[in-house]
Amino acid sequence: MSAAVARSTLLRSLLLTVLGGAGLWLLSVLFSSYNDLQLASGAFFFIVLAGLTVLIGVNGQISLGHGGLMAVGAYTVALLIGRQNWALVPALLAAAAAAAVIGIALGAAASRLRGPYLAGATLAFAVGLPGLADKFPGTFGGENGLTINPPTPPSVLGSSFPLERWEAWIAGAGALVAFFVLYNLLHSGTGRKLRAVRDDEIAASLCGMHVARTQTLTFVISAACAGLGGGMLAVVLQLAQPGAFPLQLSLSLLTAVVLGGLGSLAGAVWGAALLVLLPGWTNDAAHSFSLSQNVSANLQLAVYGVVLIGAMLVWPSGVQGGIRAIRGRIKPIERRAT
């Protein structure tokens, strides 16, 4: 890639990041405390979703285990800040790193697995990981999990600076960093490699690309994002517990990515908005329609299910919209109903 083009991507991403930062700052100042908290949540979900959409949409793999990777990040932060008194930024970096390490293992496996097998393996990871909290209750605090103290805003901001706005700033900063890094990655030579591997593994390897290495790398990157997002979650909620990372979380992440549009960072923004706003909407719907407790508790989940199914049926090339079928053969036969 020529230096001039590289510089322009860098400039563009810097511009977008600065604009995004300005927008976030403005919103955080205008928003109430509750909305600031939502902004913070949206930010850390964005980080996870950005990584996940790169994995699924740009590199053509699948993971149902990113909820578990978030848990790894959250617990790392909880342990380092809560028990070891680490500072915020190093702890967050460590969270990303810890998840990335697990990502190496999963990614190495992922590069050998296809579609359903990879889905099954990551599913097992997501369902099995919370078991560790029970196995080692001393370290991980069992069912109750670990709590940490809320992050205190620096004194330069004043003593009455709202906690939620500070959390929104932290999470927002992380989101901007993630955006900057991923944007540059996707528009670089490496980004092209990711897409090439997605579109035709055989052709890519014939061009000299290390397919397995690329796939593992992508998995690691998306794991790091999940870990960072999970770490942010622990900071914002001051809590890391197994109940916060059920299988549903991984599936809702998948839904958000599918809905937002696979492979696009902008889509990750929409997806994050969905994850943050949907609980509120379903609650409101439950109230205005006087739905029973059972129904309202499960409404959110039902929406995810419908979105996942609907997205696949209504836009059959949706998942593969940016992805061409790997073998791409013309299939003229139509299935007839018999």
Q: Is 202 in the site for other proteins (CB under 8 A)?
A: no
Q: Which is nearer to other proteins, 171 or 249 (CB)?
A: 249
Helix extents (H) in the chain: 3-30, 33-53, 66-77, 88-112, 115-128, 131-135, 137-140, 163-186, 189-199, 201-206, 211-237, 247-260, 265-288, 293-314
Pick out residues in 160-199 that bind other proteins (CB under 8 A).
none
Of positions 23, 90, 120, 280, contacts other proteins by CB under 8 A? 120
Residue 28 to residue 172: CA distance in whole angstroms? 9
Pick out residues in 300-319 that bind other proteins (CB under 8 A).
301-302, 304-313, 316, 318-319
Contacts with other proteins: how many residues (CB under 8 A)?
Answer: 65
Q: Which stretch binds other proteins (CB under 8 A): 38-46, 166-174, 186-194, 294-302?
A: 294-302
Q: Which residues contact 195 (CB under 8 A, 6 or more apart)?
A: 58, 59
Q: Is 58 in the site for other proteins (CB under 8 A)?
A: no
Residue 254 to residue 123: CA distance in whole angstroms? 12
Nearest C-alpha neighbor of 259 from the set 244, 270, 249, 243:
270
Residue 64 to residue 47: CA distance in whole angstroms? 16
| Straight-line distance from the first to the last Cα atom of the chain, in angstroms, rounded to the nearest whole number | 53
Give the residues across from 240 on adjacent strands. 146
Q: Which stretch binds other proteins (CB under 8 A): 155-163, 171-179, 220-228, 329-337?
A: 329-337
DSSP characters over 116-183: HHHHHHHHHHHHHTTHHHHHSHHHH-GGG-EE-PPPPPPGGG-TT--HHHHHHHHHHHHHHHHHHHHH
Q: Is 116 in the site for other proteins (CB under 8 A)?
A: yes
Q: Which is nearer to other proteins, 112 or 287 (CB)?
A: 112
Of positions 2, 85, 149, 338, contacts other proteins by CB under 8 A? 338
How big is the chain, counted in residues? 338
Q: Is 283 in the site for other proteins (CB under 8 A)?
A: no
Q: Which is nearer to other proteins, 228 or 244 (CB)?
A: 244
| Minimum CB distance to other proteins, residue 172 (Å) | 30
Pick out residues in 121-150 that bind other proteins (CB under 8 A).
121, 123-125, 127-129, 131-135
Q: Which is nearer to other proteins, 93 or 104 (CB)?
A: 104
Binding stretches for other proteins (CB under 8 A): 60, 62, 64, 109, 112-117, 119-121, 123-125, 127-129, 131-135, 246-248, 251, 254-255, 258, 293-295, 297-299, 301-302, 304-313, 316, 318-320, 323, 325-326, 330-338
